[in-house]
Amino acid sequence: MASPGKYSSRQFWQQLLPKIVIAPSFALILFFVYGFIVWTTYISFSRSRMLPNYNIDGLRPMRNYGTV
């Protein structure tokens, strides 16, 4: 049995492997969640209507929310 201060190779991999397996999924979740937030914000400041139009229009679309 290993001394309390040292890990055996098996213990090392038992602790590290779950982190290695979960890391790509966690990275993809972060990328897509925050990526779609940024994309939605960017599109909301453009002249888009039904289909994306990537020309930035600034705050002009936001001024129209108060009018009918």
The per-residue pLDDT of the chain, averaged, comes to: 82
pLDDT of 36 reads: 95
Residue with more model confidence, 38 or 2: 38
Distance CA 50, CA 68 (A): 19
Distance CA 39, CA 43 (A): 6
pTM tops 0.75:
no
| DSSP secondary structure string for all residues of the chain | ---TT---HHHHHHHHHHHHHHHHHHHHHHHHHHHHHHHHHHHHTB--SSS----B-TTHHHHGGG--
Residue 47 has pLDDT above 80, yes or no: no
pLDDT of 33 reads: 97
